[in-house]
Structure 1
Amino acid sequence: MEFVEQSGFTFSVDIIRDFYLNLTSLDDKHFVILNGISGTGKTQLCRVFANAVYGLDYNEDHPYLKIIPVRPDWTDGTSIFGYYSSFEKQYMKTEFLDMLLQANSERDKPHFVVLDEMNLARVEYYLSDYLSGVESRKPIQLHNVDEVTDVPKTIEIPHNFYLIGTINTDETTHSISDKVLDRSFVMTLSDVNFEPFWETLDAKLKEKIESEWQFLLQLHKVLSEYELHFGYRTMNEILHKLYKNSLLPEDVRMNKWVGLDRGISEKILPKLRGDERIDSLLTQLNSIFLEQFGEDAGSLKHIVRMRKELDRYGATQFWS
């Protein structure tokens, strides 16, 4: 917890303790899935935790941590275990396999692999061999080519190998199958506590954009009631844009409320979507934006259009 607090991120004791227990409670299986809205620090949690295990600062390179972005074209086990190329006459290794080989050679060291946005592809397709290997405790077949000397024909999933997946749930992702869920702990990181986050910001920034910050907190509270709130990344990027605007020469600087209106339209509203259940939310946002920004505000125009679409089609989204 001391290392977590020094990292500048805001993860509670409850989250760290649960993450630790989920990763370590089973001797032969270490697989955790982190679910939650974008920007709540799922990947950062993995980095902070792994670095804390080794006593490293958050920004230090970690030889026993690998964060691997999942690609939508991962369709089978070769995406993570690699394959033998008869054309190249060599085994085509992957970052995942490299870390697995390292974990087997250094069994006294915990090794962490993060599959970032793991449900951009179907998890049960590319991870099935790994899950079977963990469950059966039998070696996984990699190849049967005698000429390959740098990669063994089979490989075990050692006890010092910790797998973490991060997922976002939207229309671009795949659902997670029961086979995968049954073999993992699923944690949801959707709670956002902005007060500690605010304390980490530069004093000059806070002084310049205090009123805009208070408005964003109000907006976040309204959106949270519908599970449509935003995370730390979105808040951080809006605040830094507003601060940067405040430093521009007066003749080109945006009015701070115009800047905030733009920030909301660019970073918060694009993720807004739903059916009749968000009708009252759109009504609230209409009143809030009209009162704060006036009838010419870009954010208000988006909400007005979305309300019309909801009345006509029964569903709406930011993208027209």
Structure 2
Amino acid sequence: MEVKGSTPQAGMKDYRFFVDPVSSLPPYFSESLKYGFTGFMSRIGLGFNAFDNDEEALRYLQNEWGDFFVTFTPAMRNNKFFVLDDLQKESPVSYPEQNAAYLPLPAFGQVGAPVFGGDINKFCRHILTGKPIPGLSKKYWNSMFTPHAVIAYTDNFDGRLGDAILFAPLEGNAFDKEVISEGGAYFSTENSGRIGYKVLHFSDDSLESHVVRCRHSPLWFVSEDSLGDLISDIQELPNDGDVLSLYGIKFDESVVIDNIGHTESDEDKENLEGVSDVLDDTPVFESFDNAENIFLDRLSLLAKAKGLLYHERDLLNFHISVKSARLTILAGLSGMGKSQLVRLYGEALGLPPERVLMVPVRPSWMDDSDILGYADTTQMVYRAADTGISELLLDAEKHQDKLYMICFDEMNLARAEHYFAQFISVLEKEGTPRIRLYNPTLQGRLYNGQVYPAEISIGKNVIFVGTVNVDESTYHFSDKILDRANVLTLHRERFSEWRCGEIDKVPEIEEISASVFDTFRVYGNLELTDRELAFLDDLNRAFEESHIQCGIGFRVARQIDAYLKNIPTDYDFDREEGLDCQMVQRILTKLRGSSQQLHALIHVSDQGEAEGSLLQVFDRYKDLSDFIESRKLLSLKAQELKLYDYTI
């Protein structure tokens, strides 16, 4: 290890260090000039001017980092330098194999928090059938590499099973390919070949001698020379994925799973039977499969217990939108309970108030510096905005298994296209998008650059919501916003139903982790039927023939598909109603203009009824949905056109 002093600015002393990697690099790195990996001590938790000289800095590195296995994301600058980013101290290594090459293995779960809450059979079924496995992002795995094996932490069931299970192809020396997407990691073998497994015990000296188990990253590293021993003696995985029964374990009968992955015996928990039990006892997620139903029941009961009057359909619609889209906007009359619904949802998730951020929008906001902050290059300091958004996003980045909510209250008091512009662009990206606070070249020069990095990753654990009122004091959203959001309008309930819906006792709440919430989501390929696709084509044709700037793009079609596949079962809300909701929330929100522009699409007939090409399309596809809400909205717009010659 070598250290050299660096002076990024007068009066500021930093120290650059150089290291050599022990694992393989992506192929494109080998094409650049090699000067070794370099990093700055100001980026590993130390400020500037931390040491008097190079020797003191080197001693610190050797004492604090010398005996640790370290991970980082490699990067190139100007095709010359490999720069250390996000340096992470993982595990102490008392057996360094100085000249050994280490191979990474994806590892799902961790000690004390096994994958899928200890249901290793579910993991087996996923890897056998090619279903996604949550827990591995593109940050930790490069698609140019295919893993030789995959690790899953498991419950050892009082010593009847090991601490982890290794999975590897029985034919070939690595998986054929892997894909990292929003749903998780997909693994496949060549020609759908067989997969083997091997139970691992951390007490095994040979395992501990040649394998590094990362504490913070979902990875193991095994020395290349020891890989053969690690995957030796693997057995073929049963076709049904039921490994537990081979060890005399019946998972469903022996344990229940709570929302943070702990296991408890059935004797320790009472069964949930009916509403009264849910109210009297803390809800217990018996498995990830029914966790969503328990949460939705809790949401409804909590609303009634607080004397809040929401239509059950609105609660379901809001939940489906939140889990299937990155941005949900609640619209409606002032005082309808839009902001309260956001707080209620956060409370039902079990989130503490500090992780549900309500941001009152100000009319003066012009760009994202008003909500995030800016780099003061005169004083060389980052000045965060007083909204608290930057701090919450930083906290969410550090605690990715915790859920966070950000609500832009009265979002259209200022032009969202201006102050929310960066979020609009970033949130539609797949994987883990990043929000930029300032130019990355300034990070090493700002006094608080360690506290406020140049960029923050936005994970799926952050939920974005907005509320809007439509009146003379607000701005209308452009299609840029409407294309990227579900816009829900709350139904107005009858006051006569208010008191009869109240429940005296508020249910006890357990926090739902981000990993459990992610199991509510359904990912996968496009599932819109041919009939539904034809319906969207006919709607586009109607828009084209009317010569207005409105239509359905591929982005909106994918979002409609995501919404429909995320509709929960066991509730009085089916795909037909979901399609109707999506017409109102995704497409008809953009229908605005003068009566002359929209006459072919919608108008009032001589008999006083709404008619037009859009209603004709709904009639032709009544087998898909009755389109009740869509017809109501079109009728309202037709009346607005007749009265005011314009509709918004």
TM-score tier (shorter): 0.5 to 0.7
Select which of 431, 437, 446 maps to 1:142: 437
In the alignment, is the contact (CA less than 8 A) between 2:304 and 2:501 conserved in 1?
A: no
Residue identity matched to 2:429: S
SS in 2 for 1:14: helix
In the alignment, what sits opposite 1:193? 494
In the alignment, what sits opposite 2:312? 13
Query: Cα distance, 1:135 vs. partner?
Result: 1.8
The superposition leaves residues 219-268 of structure 1 with CA deviations (integer Å, 9 ceiling, x where unpaired) of xxxxxxxxxxxxxxxxxxxxxxxxxxxxxxxxxxxxxxxxxxxxxxxxxx
1:161 and 2:462 correspond: yes
Q: Which has the higher strand share?
A: 2
In the alignment, is the contact (CA less than 8 A) between 1:40 and 1:192 conserved in 2?
A: no
Query: Cα distance, 1:141 vs. partner?
Result: 2.3
C-alpha distance in 1, partners of 2:383/2:491? Answer: 38
C-alpha distance in 1, partners of 2:479/2:452? Answer: 32
C-alpha distance in 1, partners of 2:474/2:314? Answer: 25
C-alpha distance in 1, partners of 2:319/2:501? Answer: 25
In the alignment, what sits opposite 1:130? 423
Query: Cα distance, 1:190 vs. partner?
Result: 4.5
- Structure 2 vs 1, CA of residues 134 and 13 (structure 1 numbering), >3 Å: closer, same or farther? same
SS in 2 for 1:136: coil
1:47 and 2:334 correspond: no
In the alignment, is the contact (CA less than 8 A) between 1:107 and 1:160 conserved in 2?
A: yes
In the alignment, is the contact (CA less than 8 A) between 1:64 and 1:110 conserved in 2?
A: yes
Residue identity matched to 1:111: Y
In the alignment, is the contact (CA less than 8 A) between 1:103 and 1:109 conserved in 2?
A: yes
1:112 and 2:112 correspond: no
Q: Normalising by structure 1, what TM-score? A: 0.57
Residue identity matched to 1:166: T
The superposition leaves residues 183-241 of structure 1 with CA deviations (integer Å, 9 ceiling, x where unpaired) of 1101002513212335589xxxxxxxxxxxxxxxxxxxxxxxxxxxxxxxxxxxxxxxx
C-alpha distance in 1, partners of 2:357/2:379? Answer: 26
In the alignment, is the contact (CA less than 8 A) between 1:133 and 1:156 conserved in 2?
A: no
C-alpha distance in 2, partners of 1:37/1:81? Answer: 29
In the alignment, what sits opposite 1:70? 361
Query: Cα distance, 1:12 vs. partner?
Result: 2.2
SS in 2 for 1:34: strand
The superposition leaves residues 58-108 of structure 1 with CA deviations (integer Å, 9 ceiling, x where unpaired) of xxx523101010000111111222111234532122311122112111111
C-alpha distance in 2, partners of 1:155/1:195? Answer: 48
Root mean square deviation of aligned Cα:
2.1
Residue identity matched to 2:306: S
C-alpha distance in 1, partners of 2:459/2:301? Answer: 29
C-alpha distance in 2, partners of 1:78/1:121? Answer: 14
SS in 1 for 2:343: helix
C-alpha distance in 2, partners of 1:191/1:63? Answer: 30
In the alignment, what sits opposite 2:24? none
The superposition leaves residues 143-188 of structure 1 with CA deviations (integer Å, 9 ceiling, x where unpaired) of 2322222111112221111111000011110000111111110100
- Structure 2 vs 1, CA of residues 174 and 2 (structure 1 numbering), >3 Å: closer, same or farther? same
Q: Normalising by structure 2, what TM-score? A: 0.29
- Structure 2 vs 1, CA of residues 149 and 193 (structure 1 numbering), >3 Å: closer, same or farther? same
Max radius of gyration: which structure?
A: 2
- Structure 2 vs 1, CA of residues 198 and 86 (structure 1 numbering), >3 Å: closer, same or farther? same
1:81 and 2:410 correspond: no
C-alpha distance in 2, partners of 1:98/1:196? Answer: 41
C-alpha distance in 2, partners of 1:37/1:190? Answer: 10
Residue identity matched to 1:30: R
1:152 and 2:453 correspond: yes
In the alignment, what sits opposite 1:22? 321
Residue identity matched to 1:125: H
C-alpha distance in 2, partners of 1:190/1:73? Answer: 31
C-alpha distance in 1, partners of 2:423/2:416? Answer: 11
In the alignment, is the contact (CA less than 8 A) between 1:111 and 1:160 conserved in 2?
A: yes
C-alpha distance in 2, partners of 1:6/1:87? Answer: 53
1:36 and 2:332 correspond: yes
Residue identity matched to 1:91: Y
In the alignment, what sits opposite 1:205? none
- Structure 2 vs 1, CA of residues 189 and 153 (structure 1 numbering), >3 Å: closer, same or farther? same
List alignment gaps of at least 5 residues for structure 1. Answer: 202-313, 316-320
Residue identity matched to 2:377: S
C-alpha distance in 2, partners of 1:81/1:175? Answer: 23
In the alignment, is the contact (CA less than 8 A) between 2:326 and 2:428 conserved in 1?
A: no
C-alpha distance in 2, partners of 1:16/1:31? Answer: 16
C-alpha distance in 2, partners of 1:164/1:139? Answer: 18
C-alpha distance in 1, partners of 2:392/2:354? Answer: 9
Identity %: 32
Count of matched residue positions in the alignment of Structure 1 and Structure 2 = 195
Query: Cα distance, 1:10 vs. partner?
Result: 1.0
In the alignment, is the contact (CA less than 8 A) between 2:367 and 2:420 conserved in 1?
A: yes
In the alignment, what sits opposite 1:175? 476
Alignment of 1:297-308 (within 5 A): none
Query: Cα distance, 1:24 vs. partner?
Result: 0.3
Select which of 118, 121, 128 maps to 2:414: 121
Q: Which has the higher helix share?
A: 1
In the alignment, what sits opposite 2:393? 100
C-alpha distance in 2, partners of 1:149/1:51? Answer: 32
In the alignment, is the contact (CA less than 8 A) between 1:33 and 1:165 conserved in 2?
A: yes
In the alignment, is the contact (CA less than 8 A) between 1:81 and 1:142 conserved in 2?
A: yes
